[in-house]
Protein backbone atom coordinates (compact mmCIF):
# COMPACT_ATOMS: atom_id res chain seq x y z
CA UNK A 1 0.00 0.00 0.00
CA UNK A 2 1.30 3.44 -0.88
CA UNK A 3 1.00 6.45 1.36
CA UNK A 4 -1.50 7.90 -1.14
CA UNK A 5 -4.18 5.44 0.01
CA UNK A 6 -6.13 4.97 3.23
CA UNK A 7 -8.26 2.09 4.43
CA UNK A 8 -11.89 3.05 5.09
CA UNK A 9 -14.60 0.74 6.41
CA UNK A 10 -17.85 0.83 4.45
CA UNK A 11 -20.69 1.92 6.77
CA UNK A 12 -23.17 -0.20 4.79
CA UNK A 13 -21.54 -3.64 4.48
CA UNK A 14 -18.43 -3.41 6.68
CA UNK A 15 -15.98 -4.14 3.87
CA UNK A 16 -12.56 -2.50 4.16
CA UNK A 17 -11.80 -0.35 1.11
CA UNK A 18 -8.52 1.13 -0.10
CA UNK A 19 -9.29 4.75 -1.01
CA UNK A 20 -6.98 7.30 -2.59
CA UNK A 21 -6.32 10.18 -0.20
CA UNK A 22 -8.32 13.21 -1.29
CA UNK A 23 -10.94 11.03 -3.03
CA UNK A 24 -12.83 9.93 0.10
CA UNK A 25 -15.95 11.91 -0.81
CA UNK A 26 -16.40 10.07 -4.13
CA UNK A 27 -15.24 6.59 -3.07
CA UNK A 28 -17.57 3.66 -3.71
CA UNK A 29 -17.36 0.35 -1.86
CA UNK A 30 -15.88 -2.46 -3.92
CA UNK A 31 -18.28 -4.95 -2.34
CA UNK A 32 -21.72 -3.28 -2.03
CA UNK A 33 -21.14 -0.35 -4.47
CA UNK A 34 -22.47 2.21 -1.96
CA UNK A 35 -20.54 5.32 -0.83
CA UNK A 36 -17.90 4.53 1.80
CA UNK A 37 -17.95 7.99 3.34
CA UNK A 38 -20.51 10.75 3.77
CA UNK A 39 -21.05 13.80 5.92
CA UNK A 40 -23.47 12.26 8.44
CA UNK A 41 -22.61 10.63 11.78
CA UNK A 42 -22.83 6.83 11.81
CA UNK A 43 -24.77 5.03 14.54
CA UNK A 44 -22.42 2.23 15.62
CA UNK A 45 -23.01 -0.87 17.74
CA UNK A 46 -20.59 -3.38 19.26
CA UNK A 47 -19.28 -5.23 16.20
CA UNK A 48 -19.44 -2.26 13.84
CA UNK A 49 -17.72 -0.02 16.39
CA UNK A 50 -14.79 -2.40 16.79
CA UNK A 51 -14.38 -2.82 13.03
CA UNK A 52 -14.48 0.93 12.29
CA UNK A 53 -12.01 1.79 15.04
CA UNK A 54 -9.57 -1.06 14.36
CA UNK A 55 -9.58 -1.12 10.55
CA UNK A 56 -10.19 2.44 9.37
CA UNK A 57 -7.26 4.77 8.77
CA UNK A 58 -9.52 7.82 8.88
CA UNK A 59 -9.67 9.50 12.29
CA UNK A 60 -13.03 8.73 13.91
CA UNK A 61 -14.75 11.00 16.42
CA UNK A 62 -17.25 9.08 18.55
CA UNK A 63 -20.04 10.72 20.54
CA UNK A 64 -20.89 8.51 23.53
CA UNK A 65 -24.43 9.61 24.40
CA UNK A 66 -27.70 8.55 26.00
CA UNK A 67 -31.10 9.15 24.38
CA UNK A 68 -32.46 10.29 27.77
CA UNK A 69 -29.73 12.89 28.39
CA UNK A 70 -30.80 16.52 27.88
CA UNK A 71 -27.34 17.87 26.97
CA UNK A 72 -26.87 14.90 24.60
CA UNK A 73 -30.12 15.72 22.84
CA UNK A 74 -29.11 19.38 22.53
CA UNK A 75 -25.68 18.42 21.16
CA UNK A 76 -27.03 15.94 18.57
CA UNK A 77 -27.72 18.52 15.84
CA UNK A 78 -24.43 20.26 16.62
CA UNK A 79 -22.58 16.96 16.20
CA UNK A 80 -24.31 16.44 12.84
CA UNK A 81 -23.25 19.94 11.75
CA UNK A 82 -19.67 19.19 12.83
CA UNK A 83 -19.76 16.06 10.64
CA UNK A 84 -20.42 18.27 7.62
CA UNK A 85 -17.59 20.63 8.60
CA UNK A 86 -15.03 17.88 9.23
CA UNK A 87 -15.96 15.76 6.17
CA UNK A 88 -13.95 14.03 4.68
CA UNK A 89 -10.97 14.41 7.01
CA UNK A 90 -12.74 12.83 10.00
CA UNK A 91 -15.58 10.30 10.27
CA UNK A 92 -18.12 11.05 13.02
CA UNK A 93 -20.01 8.28 14.78
CA UNK A 94 -22.33 7.82 17.75
CA UNK A 95 -22.62 5.13 20.43
CA UNK A 96 -25.77 4.85 22.56
CA UNK A 97 -24.26 4.07 25.98
CA UNK A 98 -27.55 2.73 27.34
CA UNK A 99 -27.65 0.10 24.57
CA UNK A 100 -23.88 -0.49 24.32
CA UNK A 101 -22.88 -0.65 27.97
CA UNK A 102 -19.93 -2.97 27.30
CA UNK A 103 -18.28 -0.43 24.99
CA UNK A 104 -19.02 2.42 27.40
CA UNK A 105 -17.44 0.37 30.20
CA UNK A 106 -14.39 -0.52 28.11
CA UNK A 107 -13.67 3.19 27.61
CA UNK A 108 -14.59 4.25 31.13
CA UNK A 109 -17.47 6.50 30.09
CA UNK A 110 -18.81 8.01 33.32
CA UNK A 111 -20.60 11.08 31.94
CA UNK A 112 -22.41 11.82 28.72
CA UNK A 113 -21.97 13.30 26.29
CA UNK A 114 -18.32 12.28 25.97
CA UNK A 115 -16.38 12.64 22.74
CA UNK A 116 -13.43 10.37 21.99
CA UNK A 117 -11.23 10.87 18.94
CA UNK A 118 -9.65 7.65 17.67
CA UNK A 119 -6.62 7.63 15.36
CA UNK A 120 -5.06 4.41 14.07
CA UNK A 121 -7.20 2.34 16.42
CA UNK A 122 -6.12 4.22 19.55
CA UNK A 123 -7.73 6.91 21.67
CA UNK A 124 -6.07 10.22 20.76
CA UNK A 125 -8.20 12.68 22.74
CA UNK A 126 -11.25 12.85 25.00
CA UNK A 127 -13.67 15.61 25.99
CA UNK A 128 -16.76 15.44 28.19
CA UNK A 129 -19.67 17.86 28.06
CA UNK A 130 -21.89 19.33 25.38
CA UNK A 131 -20.25 21.49 22.71
CA UNK A 132 -21.47 23.40 19.69
CA UNK A 133 -20.43 22.45 16.14
CA UNK A 134 -17.75 25.14 15.88
CA UNK A 135 -16.13 24.07 19.16
CA UNK A 136 -16.28 20.37 18.22
CA UNK A 137 -14.52 21.08 14.92
CA UNK A 138 -11.90 23.31 16.56
CA UNK A 139 -11.22 20.71 19.26
CA UNK A 140 -10.80 17.90 16.70
CA UNK A 141 -8.50 19.96 14.48
CA UNK A 142 -6.02 20.21 17.36
CA UNK A 143 -5.39 16.46 17.00
CA UNK A 144 -5.68 15.70 13.27
**24 and 68 fall within a common domain:** no
Residue 61 near residue 103, CB atoms below 8 Å: no
To the question of pTM greater than 0.75 for the whole model, the response is yes
Q: What is the CATH number of the domain that holds 10?
A: 2.30.30.380
Full domain range(s) for residue 2: 1-38
**65 and 124 fall within a common domain:** yes
Task: Please tell me the total number of residues recorded for the chain in this structure.
Answer: 144
- The per-residue pLDDT for 3 is 65
What is the count of structural domains for the chain? 2
Q: How far is CA 70 from the centre of its chain?
A: 21
**79 and 34 fall within a common domain:** no
Tell the burial category of 106 from Cβ atoms under 10 Å away from its Cβ (0-12, 13-18, 19+): exposed
**85 and 118 fall within a common domain:** yes
**9 and 32 fall within a common domain:** yes
**86 and 112 fall within a common domain:** yes
Which tens digits make up the pLDDT trace of 20-52?
999 999 999 999 999 999 999 999 999 899 999
First to last CA, the chain: 21
**50 and 119 fall within a common domain:** yes
**48 and 109 fall within a common domain:** yes
- DSSP assignment string, 28-59: B-TTT-SBS--SS-EE--HHHHHHHHHH--S-
Reply yes or no on whether the pLDDT at 69 is more than 50.
Answer: yes
- The per-residue pLDDT for 1 is 44
Task: Identify the CA nearest to 52 among candidates 1, 11, 106.
Answer: 11
Round to whole Å and give the CA distance between 121 and 113: 21
Active centre residues (catalytic): 69, 72
**% of residues, the chain, pLDDT over 90:** 96
**82 and 122 fall within a common domain:** yes
**29 and 57 fall within a common domain:** no
Amino acid sequence: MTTDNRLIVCPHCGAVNRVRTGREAEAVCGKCRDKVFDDHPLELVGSTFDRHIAKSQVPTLVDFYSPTCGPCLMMGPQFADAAKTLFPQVRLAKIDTSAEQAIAGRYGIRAVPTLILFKNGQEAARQSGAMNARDIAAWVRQYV
